[in-house]
Amino acid sequence: MLSATDVVVGYRRGRPVLDGASVDLAAGEVLGLGGPSGSGKSTLGRVLALLHRPWSGRVSLDGSDISRFRHRTPPGTRRSVGIVFQHPRPAVDPRFTLREIIAEPLLARGEPGDVDELVDEVGLTGELLTRRPHEVSDGQLQRACLARALAPQPRYLVCDEMTAMLDASTTAALVRVVDRRTWENGMGVLAISHDEALLTRWAHRVVHVSELI
Ligand SMILES: Nc1ncnc2c1ncn2[C@@H]1O[C@H](COP(=O)(O)OP(=O)(O)OP(=O)(O)O)[C@@H](O)[C@H]1O
């Protein structure tokens, strides 16, 4: 179980964006997080992905407190939660090929950067892997970002508007990839979107930030 409990967090002192938010994400669950723009969906996603440290409250994994900065958490804990962002371009190094982007987390932990299975999983073809980000479409780059997030076999994945820039068929394909991990590996998913129809189709249950406070 990945949990946020009574999390208070924001960007300006005295002006919390989330003022006591609590949410539980179970293994194998797809939890949809909806709500209006600016309500704090991405902020909560980043807190759960250990990219943003709460001012107070806690983030826990199977009951153990992990509310420290991502770089201060043990590598095993850090790899437990992955994240995919809405915009793939700022999330990648433009000098890397897609193969290097996907292999990065594997090489960082001293494993062979064998990405063939991941590439198949997200539906990228071999020829695209030698290209750099400016030579591929947003959808192709987002597939690479999803493969990179899945490479360390995360137990939980935050999809922060992962498909907001994509067409319907690429959206459906990426949701299928994430769903397969949910069924086969029991990966828990926080699906953040302002698209209520997508959340209704995808998630097992849908909550809004205002209900978590
Ligand atoms: N890096 C930041 N610095 C300062 N303020 C920020 C930062 N990121 C978000 N905010 C502010 O925090 C509030 C919540 O933003 P957040 O992105 O979490 O909301 P959201 O519900 O995900 O919105 P959207 O659906 O538009 O992405 C907003 O008022 C936003 O302006």
**Residue 147: pLDDT over 90:** yes
Percent of the chain with pLDDT over 90: 88
Mutate to test the pocket of ligand 1, among 12, 15, 19, 37 (most ligand atoms within 8 A of CB): 37
Mutate to test the pocket of ligand 1, among 7, 11, 193 (most ligand atoms within 8 A of CB): 11
Asked if residues 33 and 209 have their Cβ atoms less than 8 Å apart, the reply is: yes
Mean pLDDT of 189-206: 97
**Residue 69: pLDDT over 70:** no
Q: Say whether the ipTM exceeds 0.95.
A: yes
Q: Where are the domains of the chain?
A: 2-212
Asked if residues 23 and 213 have their Cβ atoms less than 8 Å apart, the reply is: no
Atom index in ligand 1 nearest the CA of residue 86 equals 27
Question: Per-residue DSSP letters for 119-131?
Answer: HHHHT--GGGGGS
**Residue 70: pLDDT over 70:** no
Q: How far apart are CA 32 and CA 110, in angstroms?
A: 34
Instruction: Kindly report the average pLDDT of the chain as a whole number.
Output: 94
**Residue 74: pLDDT over 80:** no
Report yes or no on whether pTM surpasses 0.90. Answer: yes
CATH architecture of 2-212: 3-Layer(aba) Sandwich (3.40)
